[in-house]
Amino acid sequence: MIELEKIEKIYNAGKASETHALKDINLRIEEGDMVAITGPSGSGKSTLLHIIAGIDSPSSGEYRFCGKLVSDMSDKERCRIRNQKIGMIMQDFGLLGNDTVLRNVCLPEVIGGRYNRKFENKAKEILSAVGLPGLEQKKTNQLSGGQRQRVAIARALAMDAKIIIADEPTGALDSENTDSLMDLLLELNRQGITIIIVSHDPKVAMRCPIRYRIEDGRIERTKIY
Ligand SMILES: Nc1ncnc2c1ncn2[C@@H]1O[C@H](COP(=O)(O)OP(=O)(O)OP(=O)(O)O)[C@@H](O)[C@H]1O
């Protein structure tokens, strides 16, 4: 599903501030995998996630998504993958705080002009499934960190995302909320959704069957903690 071959990422190439953020990254993630990526601050985790999500492109190397070279895709095709196949759960949640939970979940459809009552009903069912029943009309800036993460997950599910990419999803949560968010992600994985989580938290990584560690831009598979 996701194949990275000899991926390199260099920021500000040729300048004094040049940073070699990713070095010779070879990584395969299959459909239905649940993967944790850990590593110290500045090691290249977010850079890697942004490349996988199609938000950024590598300086060199090949990235295939479902067998197709991403560099050969049109902007439209890349955009479709980013918006429909991949649900990004960001560190800062990526939600509109002044909008309601329901509107945040439906936002991609509203923007795309496809919003209708059927979609609203689907969004309500998903909100219930992720543990947020009855909160549809609440503004997201009135929710707890754990609840906001669930709204972001609900938005990805409402778009029928096949992959959820989560950058430090539990960074702002206490241990009880971390556990229940991980329970939800594991359940979604059991239902066939591919999950990729970047986390500093060993407890989060321990619950993922496949684990990688990045250090100074290089990645290696690990199972030992
Ligand atoms: N847009 C950018 N321009 C220049 N350098 C960047 C940019 N983004 C990241 N970097 C640099 O690339 C390296 C990897 O950064 P990245 O954000 O991928 O690390 P990280 O492992 O996600 O860190 P953290 O855990 O602190 O979020 C760092 O040295 C960082 O300063």
Report residue 41 as tokens.
Answer: 């601050």
pLDDT tens sequence across 85-136: 898 887 666 788 889 999 999 987 877 777 788 889 999 999 998 889 899 9
Q: CB 11: neighbour CB atoms within 10 A?
A: 14
What residue has token string 């902007």? 75
Q: Quote the ipTM score.
A: 0.98
The residue to mutate among 17, 22, 46, 199, having the most atoms of ligand 1 within 8 angstroms of its beta carbon, is 46
What is the distance between the alpha carbons of residues 5 and 142, in angstroms, rounded to a whole number?
43
Separation of CA 114 and ligand 1 centre (Å): 36
Sequence spans of domains, the chain: 30-57+73-221
Q: What is the CATH number of domain 30-57+73-221?
A: 3.40.50.300
> In the predicted model, what is the mean pLDDT of residues 24-29?
97
